[in-house]
Structure 1
Amino acid sequence: MGVPQNLCTSCGKPLFARYDLKEAARTLTPQSLTTRGKSLWRYREVLPVRKDEDIVTLGEGWTPMLHVPRLGAKLGMERLYIKDESQNPTQSFKARGMTGAVSMAKQYGLKKLAVPSAGNAAGALAAYAARAGIEAHIFMPADTPQANIIECRETGAHVTLINGLITDCGMEVAKRKAAEGWFDVSTLKEPFRVEGKKTLGYELAEQLDWKLPDAVLYPTGGGTGLIGMWKAFDEMQQMGWIGSERPRLYTIQASGCAPIVRAFEEGKRFADEFPNAATKASGLRVPKAIGDFLMLDALRASGGGVVAVPDEEMIQAVRELGSAEGIFAAPEGAACYAALKHLRAQNVIRADEQAVIFNTGAGVKYLECFHD
């Protein structure tokens, strides 16, 4: 793509980068990966940046895939794993998307980027924009966790707090971006955050020795990671790395903001905006996602499902996960463990299956959630 572009100009839906996978597979092979650096840029041939000098990196990706036997034993599962994204730069999986988006912004020569964010995406944009020497303009709800707000200010971003939700922040960016000269890097409103996030799928396969797990539990706000992984599985199959088998994908949302859960259960392809969205898990407080249909398509195609978790359960799960395995998870990640308990009780996920929980961020960024 020669010019920066947001949504498709004809249908208003997200755009995706496509690659000559036959050409990519000449140099990108499971064997070649054994000698490459431990960052997501190891998958260079299926990432969009043309020149290495335009890559804006802080060492993101290649996060641990941790076997969690004590946690698994509580559920009778011997093959339970946590993919711990809290060990990324800026302490969340959002670093993956922003290395892609900001690298492409540098390639295009963009000078000012703007994003609405519930927290962690803001911190990631602030850091990567600073690394690239690009202005970052960030719009967050006023009740965003303090750690995110401070992080953005201390890494040089222009921060505006809005009395409202992430959707209100998005409207403010949309209203002002033309006059201010900002390029909007909102979730799925540009094509490259999803490219960084899809490396979750590549790492999932590589770290499990090219055999995908039976089930993946993923906390979902905007859903870019889920959509990206589904894209990665398709690319890997086309390159001959994996077969047609796919994990069952389970979207985990907060009971107080569960538009994808509701749409899935009602058999809809598009999700209505969730009214009065409220949850302590700020990353899950996304009442309307532009990629709703992409998530719902992937969930159904994979044979997976949805679970909504009350805030009290996810906060309790943070402590349970931490005390069993030493991982201080974000509420969003802990929500997946709470959801797994429900899925095990119903035997939707069986004891003999291999399951991977995605912990998308660090609990230390959510200290307000843990006040007694």
Structure 2
Amino acid sequence: MTYSVLKCFACGSEYNINRNKYTCDKCGNILDVFHYDMEYTTTKLKGVWKYKNLIHPSISNEKIITKGEGNTNLYNSSRISKYSGINNIYLKHEGENPTGSFKDRGMTVAVSEGMRLNFKKTLCASTGNTSAAAASYSAFAGIESYVMIPGKNISANKLFQAIAYGANIVDIDGDFDTAMADIKKTIEKRNDFYLLNSLNPWRIEGQKTIIYEIMEKLKPDFISFPAGNLGNTSAFGKALMDLKSLGVINEVPRLIAIQAEGAAPFYEYIKEKLENIIPVKAETIATAIKIGNPVNFKKAKRSIEFTNGIVEKVSDDQILEAKREIDRSGIGCEPASAAAVAGVKKLRESGILDRGDTVVSILTGNILKDVSIIPEYKSLKISDIL
């Protein structure tokens, strides 16, 4: 029978899942959720919770807080194929989740775990998508949410979501990394808040299901995605480790983590083979990945190493160009999402990817998440079309 523990991937220390401190007492690294005797079996539940036995087998169905997240579409567009130079490129659109981003997958698991542990308040730092998901799922669970937001570094659309769902907004004079530092101080001093950032390994468990869904339908050579705080990078490698160890797949697709040039500490960390990540002052129009000191870099490195993955960076101009093509294809996405396709195009042009490769690019957020960048357009008069 499957049972779960919190386990340090660095030193191997194990802790009971009833604990809500998610760093190792011995070495300080972020803990993983580890499932012993895991089996690849699905349930009759929908979306993310179809994979309950792979993400949180011990939670009772009554504690699950879900809004039907997951089961998002894969799109194939001739326009994106032509633009990227990849014949078989598919777009997995996480913007189709209830609050408009992939964060709902992690939040359904994390908030459900918070309910299992009987918390009445949740807390997160956010540049937008996390705050929207945290506020929505907390409200749906009937508990309070507190969101630390760097007021000058968030899309108004995302802030509106958090406010509309009733979150208590804590305005931070700084950026996301400042907010994360304040989160850590708060959690150390108080034990009545349940943490919902990707320091929480239950978030990672929910985000694994993106990979499960892809691999059920395709066997891609590469999977590309935008990389900010590196929660997805961590989750995707962990999901592929699951599938490989369980014998579900033989060949492991290579992960491609794409950062914005102005917020690329993980790119430098991997490229220069550094001992530790060097924080940067993040600057990019892609606010969802505008993070200069990502907390999950060690877990993310594990994912890149396991999959023989690639870390690349793209400019804001390349992101905007890719976004225009995705939008004009009728699919649409927020700016950060477009980095996934911009990176594929760059790697194809450099010869790292071949035209015949099968690639899945993950679009992490809905087009309406950030409308501050309005494309130029020409208006017509009625006489022009009569």
Q: TM-score, normalised by structure 2?
A: 0.88
- SS of residue matched to 1:19: strand
Whole-angstrom distance in 1 between the partners of 2:221 and 2:313? 20
Q: What is the match of residue 21 of structure 2? A: 5
Q: Retained in 2: the 8 A contact 1:114–1:185?
A: yes
Q: What is the match of residue 265 of structure 1? A: 271
- SS of residue matched to 1:128: helix
| Unaligned 5+ runs, structure 2 | 1-16, 377-386
What do residues 127-183 of structure 1 show as CA deviations (whole Å, max 9, x unaligned)?
A: 000011111100111121011111111101101221211111122223334347322
What do residues 27-73 of structure 1 show as CA deviations (whole Å, max 9, x unaligned)?
A: x1xxx67xx45411111111225100000001101111112232113
Whole-angstrom distance in 1 between the partners of 2:292 and 2:141? 31
Count, aligned residues: 357
Question: For 1:136, which of 121, 131, 145 is the aligned residue?
Answer: 145
Q: Using the TM superposition, give the Cα deviation of residue 7 of structure 1 relative to its aligned residue in structure 2, in angstroms.
A: 1.3
What do residues 190-240 of structure 1 show as CA deviations (whole Å, max 9, x unaligned)?
A: 2200000011111111121xx3x1111110011111211211112122222
Q: Retained in 1: the 8 A contact 2:125–2:131?
A: yes
Q: What is the match of residue 310 of structure 1? A: 315
Higher helix share: 1
Whole-angstrom distance in 1 between the partners of 2:282 and 2:86? 34
Letter in 1 for 2:192: G
Q: What is the match of residue 216 of structure 1? A: 223
Question: For 2:115, which of 96, 106, 119 is the aligned residue?
Answer: 106
Q: Which deviates more, 105-114 or 329-338?
A: 329-338
Q: Retained in 2: the 8 A contact 1:269–1:297?
A: no
Q: Using the TM superposition, give the Cα deviation of residue 341 of structure 1 relative to its aligned residue in structure 2, in angstroms.
A: 1.3
Whole-angstrom distance in 2 between the partners of 1:229 and 1:79? 21
Q: 1:269 to 1:299 in 2, by over 3 A?
A: farther
Whole-angstrom distance in 2 between the partners of 1:80 and 1:222? 25
1:181 corresponds to 2:192: yes
Whole-angstrom distance in 1 between the partners of 2:206 and 2:252? 20
Q: 1:239 to 1:21 in 2, by over 3 A?
A: farther
- SS of residue matched to 2:370: helix
Question: For 2:173, which of 163, 167, 173 is the aligned residue?
Answer: 163
Q: What is the match of residue 258 of structure 2? A: 252
Letter in 1 for 2:101: S
Q: Using the TM superposition, give the Cα deviation of residue 328 of structure 1 relative to its aligned residue in structure 2, in angstroms.
A: 1.3
Q: What is the match of residue 306 of structure 2? A: 301
Q: What is the match of residue 94 of structure 2? A: 85
Q: TM-score, normalised by structure 1?
A: 0.91
Q: What is the match of residue 201 of structure 2? A: 191
| Unaligned 5+ runs, structure 1 | none
Q: Which deviates more, 303-312 or 85-94?
A: 303-312
Q: Using the TM superposition, give the Cα deviation of residue 326 of structure 1 relative to its aligned residue in structure 2, in angstroms.
A: 0.7
Q: What is the match of residue 63 of structure 1? A: 72
Whole-angstrom distance in 2 between the partners of 1:231 and 1:171? 26
Q: Using the TM superposition, give the Cα deviation of residue 91 of structure 1 relative to its aligned residue in structure 2, in angstroms.
A: 0.2
Letter in 1 for 2:287: S
Q: What is the match of residue 145 of structure 1? A: 155
Q: Retained in 1: the 8 A contact 2:237–2:307?
A: no
RMSD, matched Cα: 1.7
Q: Which deviates more, 93-102 or 165-174?
A: 165-174
- SS of residue matched to 2:158: helix
| Misfit runs of 4+, over 6 Å | none
In the TM superposition, what are the counterparts of 1:47-62 in structure 2 within 5 Å? Answer: 47-48=55-56, 50-62=59-71
Letter in 2 for 1:8: C
What do residues 332-363 of structure 1 show as CA deviations (whole Å, max 9, x unaligned)?
A: 11112111111111110101110111100012
Q: 1:2 to 1:160 in 2, by over 3 A?
A: closer
- Taking every aligned residue pair, what percent have the same amino acid on both sides? 29
Whole-angstrom distance in 2 between the partners of 1:298 and 1:179? 32
Q: Retained in 1: the 8 A contact 2:237–2:302?
A: no
Letter in 2 for 1:133: G
Question: For 1:226, which of 227, 233, 236 is the aligned residue?
Answer: 233
- SS of residue matched to 1:368: coil
Whole-angstrom distance in 2 between the partners of 1:197 and 1:109? 23
